[in-house]
Structures are given as C-alpha cells and as structure tokens.
Amino acid sequence: MATAHDFSFTRIDGAPLPLADFKGKAVLVVNTASHCGLTPQYEGLEALYSRYRDRGLVVLGVPCNQFAGQEPGSEEEIAAFCTTRFAVDFPLAAKTEVKDEGRHPFYAWAEEVLGPDAVPVWNFHKILIGSDGAAIAAFNPRVEPLDEALTAAVEKAL
C-alpha cells in the first residue's frame, strides 16, 4: 500500500521535494492561496509550525490557483508574499493542481485513503500525514490551524 512518502512535490524554488524526506515527522499538507479570504490562516499555520516543529511537525504549503484564481502569481511572487507578509518559515511547494483530472497524484492517493473529505473544496484545506506516511485526517478550509480538533490530531500524530 502506498504512503505519502511515495510522492514528491517540487519546491517553490524548483528543487525536488520528496515527501520521503519527512519520514519520522508528521506533515500537514495545506493548499494555499495569496488572494483568498482565508489567506490570514498563514499566520496560524506559521504559529502551528513554530509550536510543534521541534517535536516533528512539518507544515507544507501547496499554492494552488484552482479556486477562483486566487493564486495568480509566479513562484517568486508567492514566496515573497509569504515571507514578507506572514514570515512563513515552513516549506512551500511550487504551484500545484489539487483537484480534478490534472491533480497531483498525492491528492488522488489522499482521496483513495481518506475518502471525499480529502478532496480540497477551497483554499486552505488540510491533510494530516503521520510520521509513517499514513494519511490520518482531512480538515476543511474553515478549520483554523490552531483549532482544538486540529491541534489534538497533530499532538496524537507526534
């Protein structure tokens, strides 16, 4: 059976980003956008990452332009926005499709394992991966990064 560690994204700077690099760590994969009403969640994601990174949590931002064109910029523009506006320190992938036929294979796998809850319905959808690469849970975009249910799942994953 496949795990998240079998998939690879591309870093926002163009370098490979294999999820196998995160073996032994929990990973929260979040499709992001710079021009969305939920964009302030970057602040909560950075706070979550800061709180749990030393215990083994990685937050992975996956910019996506599939929801109302709310991530129109280049990789360079996205990276600059995230670092200057929200001091994002967690890894960012290059712009990626997360739904429909052209979606990244990670998202097809997550749906296969977790069911329809794993399919992003909007920006800032969250998928929690365990340290062994197993998909643990999906959280809809309205669930804030520091929400009690999300932090409890992260705690359990660590």
Predicted TM-score (pTM) above 0.85 = yes
Q: Which helix (H) or strand (E) holds 138?
A: strand 135-139
Confidence check: pLDDT of 1 > 80 = no
Q: Which of 8, 36, 38, 53 is catalytic?
A: 36
- Is 36 designated active site? yes
Confidence check: pLDDT of 138 > 90 = yes
Mean pLDDT of the chain: 97
Rg (CA), the chain: 14
Whichever domain contains 104, its CATH number is 3.40.30.10
* Per-residue pLDDT tens digits for 25-43: 999 999 999 999 999 999 9
| CA distances to 1, 45, 101 from 60, in Å | 23, 9, 22
Q: Which domain holds residue 149?
A: 4-157
Predicted confidence at residue 54, as pLDDT, reads 98
Give the count of domains, the chain: 1
* Per-residue pLDDT tens digits for 80-137: 999 999 999 999 999 999 999 999 999 999 999 999 999 999 999 999 999 999 999 9
SS3 91: coil
Name 126's bridge partners: 30, 139
Predicted confidence at residue 104, as pLDDT, reads 98
Predicted confidence at residue 152, as pLDDT, reads 98
Distant-in-sequence, close-in-space partners of 101: CB < 8 Å, separation ≥ 6: none
- Please count the CA atoms within 13 angstroms of the CA of 67 that sit on its side-chain side: 23
